[in-house]
Amino acid sequence: MGDLSQEEWKDQLANDDNAVIIDVRTDAEVADGIIPNAIHLDIYTGQEFINEIEKLDKTKSYYVYCRSGNRSGQACKIMEELGFENAYNLEGGMLQWTGDVVDID
């Protein structure tokens, strides 16, 4: 697990064929837009969040973000405890994100 700067996150993500993006924000936050191809798993759903994380493929690399980088850091720690080796937190979250954002359908 690691904290990546905005630039490191974008560069590493662009060169990772095994990447999955996870948005751990609330439904209300996601309504403002989501990074393209991200999976939305709200960390505030507690056990439901953990259940959904446990269904994920542990061989993939996960790029996790939230609004500011705090909840996504917590999510990466949870993933690490569940046996995930490649979970990366986006420092500064959506507050500092300058990449593409799309509306969720």
CA neighbor of 86 nearest in space, from 104, 59, 105: 59
The strand pair at 39-40 and 87-90 is best described as unpaired
Alpha carbons 98 and 72: distance in angstroms, whole number: 17
Task: Identify the bridge partners of residue 40 per DSSP, sorted by sequence position.
Answer: 23
**76 has catalytic annotation:** no
Q: Active-site residue among 53, 66, 79, 87? A: 66
Cα-based angle 20, 90, 69 (whole degrees, multiple of 5): 125
At 42, the amino acid letter reads D
**Which residues are catalytically annotated?**
66
